[in-house]
């Protein structure tokens, strides 16, 4: 069973991806004024530079086995919930399932201030947390975000259904640290 998807957050990310794809298609249909033979070299150079600038695919950063080892809970699968940044994690027990998002920081909603506002709205409050990434906040109930290496990592529901760790976000923090270490 997949963790519950945050539809407004996913929709905003998908719309951003659609806008980028449309812009890329529009630009690729424009004519080129480069001399014959130069276009293939130019295309190769552009492809090489853009592939190194591609944001990390959050769902490929870690395996279910690595998550299980880091947290001490059995996870069985990580499914891409959309665009490689929204990832559903399935636990052996349904109450252990959660999701995480790894997004390159940039325009809203992928800014630190926007992320903190979303956590405050969803969880009712936010508390600054130290020792994970460049900065981190945890909500009152289920959400935790950390900013590191130009990315925002959000982990949701990893502790919600586990009373011993629900208030401390112990699982969540281990997951965030693991994800950040893979960026």
pLDDT at 155 over 60: yes
pLDDT at 170 over 80: yes
Instruction: Please return the burial class of 10, using the count of CB atoms within 10 Å of its CB with bins 0-12, 13-18 and 19+.
Output: middle
| The pLDDT of residue 31 | 37
| The pLDDT of residue 131 | 92
Mean pLDDT of 50-62: 71
What's the pLDDT tens digit per position in 84-118?
A: 889 999 999 999 999 999 999 997 778 999 999 99
Whether residue 114 contacts residue 126, with contact meaning beta carbons closer than 8 Å, is answered with no
| The pLDDT of residue 43 | 33
Q: What is the pTM of this model?
A: 0.71
Measured from the Cβ of residue 139, the count of other Cβ atoms closer than 10 Å reads 22
Instruction: Please return the burial class of 31, using the count of CB atoms within 10 Å of its CB with bins 0-12, 13-18 and 19+.
Output: exposed
| The pLDDT of residue 54 | 62
Per-residue pLDDT band at 69 (split at 50, 70, 90): very high
The span from the CA of 102 to the CA of 61, in Å, is 9
What's the pLDDT tens digit per position in 119-146?
A: 999 999 999 999 999 999 999 999 999 9
More confident: 53 or 175: 175
């Amino acid at each position: 069973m997949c963790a519950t998807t945050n539809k407004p957050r996913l929709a905003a990310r998908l719309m951003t991806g659609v806008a980028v794809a449309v812009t890329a298609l529009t630009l690729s249909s424009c004519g080129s004024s480069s001399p014959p033979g130069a276009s293939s070299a130019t295309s190769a150079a552009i492809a090489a530079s853009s592939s190194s600038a591609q944001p990390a695919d959050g769902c490929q950063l870690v395996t279910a086995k690595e998550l299980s080892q880091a947290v001490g809970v059995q996870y069985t699968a990580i499914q891409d919930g959309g665009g490689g940044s929204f990832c559903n994690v399935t636990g052996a027990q349904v109450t252990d399932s959660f999701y995480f998002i790894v997004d390159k920081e940039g325009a809203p909603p992928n800014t630190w201030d926007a992320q903190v506002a979303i956590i405050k709205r969803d969880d009712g409050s936010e508390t600054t947390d130290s020792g994970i990434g460049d900065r981190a906040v945890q909500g009152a109930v289920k959400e935790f975000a950390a900013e590191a290496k130009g990315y925002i990592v959000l982990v949701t529901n990893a502790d919600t259904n586990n009373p011993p760790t629900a208030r401390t976000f112990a699982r969540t923090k281990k997951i965030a640290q693991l994800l950040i270490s893979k960026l």
